[in-house]
Amino acid sequence: MELAEPRVLVCGSRRWPWPATVAAVLDRLTRRHGDGLVVIEGAAAGADQAAHRWCDEQGLGVDRHRCHPVDWQAERRARPDQWRLAGPERNTRMLLQERPRLIVAFHDHFDGKSGGTSDMCLRGLLKNVPVWLVPGEDPGSGRWLRLGAFPQPRADRVRRELGIGPAVPDAPGLFDVPSG
């Protein structure tokens, strides 16, 4: 996939056990898109942390490493009954402010029904950002994620949150195998 503007958002499991896989994917994207690659991540444990470390090792400045942490303790104090909304809010901010052209999700037990990675992927797909899911240690084993991987009521709710109109029918199947 060619990216007109090489801005990639990395998300994934907080328990992602293969940081070298994240590094390999980012290395591959850098070889393909050059030194202009911008990496966006949410500063969570696991896959985000691996992307953060890769950015530090590459010497990326804040112009090319866009980090969006959530202060969970402050969120719990500020809104004890709604602190969990901080994750989806951060995901929306990263999507709308940073304008990624690709999302790469690292998750070995991806579930479209719940979770922060799933939320980020769904929000991206609804805003027409392609999502590449890497399900294991092999960086070449990924698949394109489709809207069909998410329960329709969840997709409709997030669509309303994002202010997006009615659903466009998605092709059947959870994943598409990339061509080429």
> Mapping DSSP to helix (H, G, I), strand (E, B) and coil, where does residue 12 land?
strand
127 pLDDT more than 90? yes
* 82 or 144, higher pLDDT: 144
Question: At a CB cut-off of 8 Å and minimum separation 6, what does 65 contact?
Answer: 38, 39, 52, 55, 56
171 pLDDT more than 70? no
86-98 helix and 116-126 helix, angle to the nearest 10 degrees? 40
pLDDT at 177: 35
pLDDT at 167: 63
Question: At a CB cut-off of 8 Å and minimum separation 6, what does 98 contact?
Answer: 7, 9, 38, 40, 66, 68
pLDDT at 5: 76
Question: At a CB cut-off of 8 Å and minimum separation 6, what does 156 contact?
Answer: 167
- Residues of the chain with pLDDT > 90, as a percent, come to 73
Instruction: Sketch out the chain's domains with CATH numbers.
Output: 7-163 (3.40.50)
In b/e form, how buried is each residue of 162-173, taking b as 16+ CB within 10 angstroms? Answer: eebeeeeeeeee
Residues 41-78 pLDDT 10s: 999 999 999 999 999 999 999 999 999 988 788 888 88
pLDDT averaged over the chain?
89
* pLDDT, mean of residues 103-130: 95
pLDDT at 76: 85
The C-alpha angle 126, 127, 132, rounded to 5 degrees, equals: 75
> Mapping DSSP to helix (H, G, I), strand (E, B) and coil, where does residue 118 land?
helix
* 132 or 84, higher pLDDT: 132
* pLDDT, mean of residues 98-119: 95
> Mapping DSSP to helix (H, G, I), strand (E, B) and coil, where does residue 18 land?
coil
Amino acid letter, 18: W
β 131-134/175-176 pair status: unpaired
pLDDT at 123: 94
